[in-house]
Structure 1
Amino acid sequence: MTKVKYIRISSIDQNTGRQEVNAKDFSKIYVDRISGTIPFQDRKEGKKLLADIENNSITEVHVNSIDRLGRNIIELLTMIEFLNQNSVNLFVENIGMYSLIENKPNPSFKMIISVLGNVAEMERSNMLERQRQGIELAKAKKLYTGRLYGTRMADDEVLNKYKIVVKELKNGESLRRAAKIGGCSLGTAQKVQRLITKL
């Protein structure tokens, strides 16, 4: 039996220590430093994990909590179905439960994951609503100078605004270093990099 663990943290500066406390129990650990809103199949280590599963080299996957796999309930259930079809048992540590029992889907697991997934979606929706309300309040007090909520910059505007980041990335600098030099977040640097690759 090949048992592995998948770890996701939201930023490059976050520590994976809490999720790696039992690292010695696994033959391999996959670590993604990326937002939970990014689909699992679009993550660097997520892709590797899916490929290894399809190659029948994994029988059991552990995650610290279900939101490490994603924050969208449909994506979560699709991922669990993929694991079930490949006879891969998923163990979620914070609820102490397996997705399969004697190689058959665990109905209690699916029910609990559905509830947790819906709660995670609701929390994210509430967070975005609080953010919107905060911006509206700041605008009313004439304290907000950012873009209007729900609007987005065109690709060429992003590249023009972050010329330094574009230059550093083209010169081979790392995302983290380019973000620091360009005075922006890592997420912005990642977006700039995606735009550059499309040019």
Structure 2
Amino acid sequence: MRARYIRVSTGSQNTERQLQKNHPDEKIYIDIISGAIAFKERPKGQKLINDIESGLINYISVHSIDRLGRNLFDILATLELLYEKKITLEVDNLGLKSLVNNKPNSAFKLIISVMANIAEMERETLLERQKEGIALAKAKGVYKGRVKGSIETQQEVLLKYKEVVKYLKKGQSIRNTSKLCNVSVGTVQKVKRMVQL
């Protein structure tokens, strides 16, 4: 059976672009999760791996390689798993397949390694820009971080971190919630203690 794997970082993002080339017989797996989370740690990523191991899936399509992840090591580990299980991976925006006549496509391996590197660099650039923006805001005196030594009430903390509360209530792990909300693990633990999940 064919499958299509879709990933968006937030629920407000549209999946239509990733569904443009889907086939009617494809089983759809959609994760709403950061690309920084390892593929095998994502709810639908795990389900897809389980279905592969059960022999239900033999062909996977993705819109682009960064849907698998934004970490080179994780993308390559996922590709290795697919090679081991003899699963064909098709990347729509490149028009490439990982296997041709059940043999590894060497052009696919080379291009995917380059694309995975680019995806990882894009994420690092995004985080670097974010740090620069915070530094600039601090220099201008407009940074709205908490005043050092001040104490927030429980209500203020829960209001400030309502996204953290939302992901924890959905059953996300502390580490995943930290990455999804771009806050420290300590902050997520503090919020979790407050909501007593």
Shared fold by TM > 0.5? Answer: yes
Residues 1-199 of structure 1: pairs in structure 2 closer than 5 A: 2-146=1-145, 161-162=157-158, 165=162, 187=181, 195=192
**What code does the residue aligned with 2:49 have?**
L
Residues 21 and 92, structure 2, Cα contact 8 Å, conserved in 1: no
After superposition, what is the alpha-carbon deviation per residue over 1:142-182, rounded to whole angstroms, capped at 9, x for unaligned? 1112269xxxxxxxx9998117959x87xxx769xxxxxxx
Shift of 1:44: 1.0
Q: Is the 8 A contact 1:64 1:92 kept in 2?
A: yes
TM-score where L is the length of structure 1: 0.75
Aligned residues: 175
* Cα displacement (A) at 1:24: 3.9
Q: Alpha-carbon deviation of 1:43?
A: 1.0
Distance in 2, matches of 1:99 and 1:159, equals 51
Task: Find the residue that maps to 1:91 and give its secondary structure.
Answer: strand
Q: Secondary structure at the match of 1:50?
A: helix
Q: Structure 1 residues 132, 13: CA separation in 2 closer, same or farther (over 3 Å shift)? A: same
SS in 2 for 1:23: coil
Letter paired with 1:18: R
Which SS does the other structure have where 2:46 is aligned? Answer: helix
How many angstroms apart in 1 are the aligned matches of 2:154 and 2:111? 41
**Structure 1 residue 45: Cα displacement:** 0.8
Q: Secondary structure at the match of 1:136?
A: helix
Distance in 1 between residues matched to 2:32 and 2:12, nearest whole Å: 9
Deviation at 1:15, TM superposition (A): 1.3
Q: Give the TM-score, by structure 2 length.
A: 0.76
What SS is found at the alignment partner of 2:28? strand
Offset at residue 120 of structure 1 (A):
1.4
The 2-side partners of 1:92 and 1:138 are apart by 40
**Counterparts of 2:48 and 2:162, CA distance in 1:** 30
Are the aligned partners of 1:5 and 1:26 in contact in 2 as well (CA < 8 Å)? no
Larger deviation: 54-63 or 18-27?
18-27
Deviations 1:103-159 (A, max 9, x none): 1211111111111111111122122222211211111111112269xxxxxxxx999
1:70-115: CA deviation from partner (whole Å, max 9, x where unpaired): 0111111111110010010000000000011121211111111111
Deviation at 1:26, TM superposition (A): 3.2
SS in 1 for 2:61: strand
Unaligned runs of 5+ in 2: 148-152, 172-179, 183-187
Q: CA deviation at 1:25?
A: 3.2
Q: Give the % identical residues.
A: 44
Report the alpha carbon displacement of residue 50 of structure 1 after superposing the two structures with TM. 0.5
